[in-house]
Amino acid sequence: MRGIIYIHVPKCGGSSFGAALRLRHLTSQATIGLGRRRTLPQVDARLSGEDRIEADYALRDAELARLVGRGTRCIAAHVRYNPALHDTAARDHAHVTLLRDPVERFVSHYRYLQRRHPDPTRAPTLEAFLDTPDAARLASQYLFYFGGRSQTRCRDLPRAIETAIASLRRFDLVGDLSDPAAFAAGLRRLIGPLPHLRRNRAPTPTVVPEALAPQIRELCAPDIAIYRAARELAATSG
C-alpha cells in the first residue's frame, strides 16, 4: 500500500479523514496533533506569541521527518508542507490535504479556540478579535502551512502566496470541505477502501456575521487567493 502524508490544516473538517486514514494503515501510522505530545520536545518556555508558534512548528517539522525516516506509511498531522522532504525521503508518499472557504474557516477557528481553549488575553468577541494582531495570523493558515510563513511575518507576501500555490500543485489530492464525498473518493483512488468516521464536529454550523464579513475577507485575502488557485487546480486536474 502506498504511503500517505495528510497535511491537516486546523478547522478544515479533516479530523474524520485523518482518523480513517490511520485506521487504513493501522500497523504503520502516526499523528502530530495540536496538543503537546510525549514524542515532541517542549518549546522553550521563554518564548511567546508567534515566536512560540514558529518554534513549535519547527519541532513538528522535525517530527514529520523522523516519522518518514523510520518508514511510517501514514502520517496525518498538523504540520507545514516540506518540499525538501517531499523530494527525498517522502517522495513515495502521496501528499493530500483538505481546504475550506477561508472566511468560514477563520470564524470556525476563532470559535473553536473560545470553546476549547479559552484565554483571558484573547478578545471575548469575534468583532473585537478582528482588531487584534493575532487575527491576521489566524486568517493566514494556508499561507503558513503551504508557504511557510504567517502574513504578519512575511516580507514578500505575493511571493509567499505563489510559494503556497506552487506547493499545492505538487499534492496528489487537494480536497474542498464543500464536497467531502469527492475528497473521500479521491482518497479511495489513492489507497483503497476507507472506514467511515465522524469526529470533532462543531456543535453548531459556522455562520459568518454579515456585518463583519468584509473585514474578515480583508484579513483572509492571502488565504482566499491560495484557496481560489487550489480550486482551479482541482477543476483542471479533475
Q: How many domains does the chain have?
A: 1
Task: Look at residue 39 in the predicted model and tell me its pLDDT.
Answer: 58
What CATH number did the domain enclosing 197 receive?
Answer: 3.40.50.300
Task: Look at residue 219 in the predicted model and tell me its pLDDT.
Answer: 97
CA–CA dist 76, 138 (Å, integer): 21
Distances (CA, A) of 55 to 37, 58, 75, 80: 15, 5, 21, 12
Please give the residue range of the domain that contains residue 7. 3-237
Digit-by-digit pLDDT tens for the chain (238 residues) are 689 999 999 999 888 899 999 999 999 999 987 765 555 677 877 877 888 888 999 999 999 999 999 999 999 999 999 999 999 999 999 999 999 999 999 999 999 999 999 999 999 999 999 999 899 999 999 999 999 988 988 889 999 999 999 999 999 999 999 999 999 999 999 999 888 766 556 667 899 999 999 999 999 999 999 999 999 987 776 5
Distances (CA, A) of 31 to 26, 76, 189, 213, 222: 12, 5, 22, 34, 27
Q: Pick from 91, 87, 66: which is nearest to 77 by CA?
A: 66
Task: Look at residue 86 in the predicted model and tell me its pLDDT.
Answer: 98
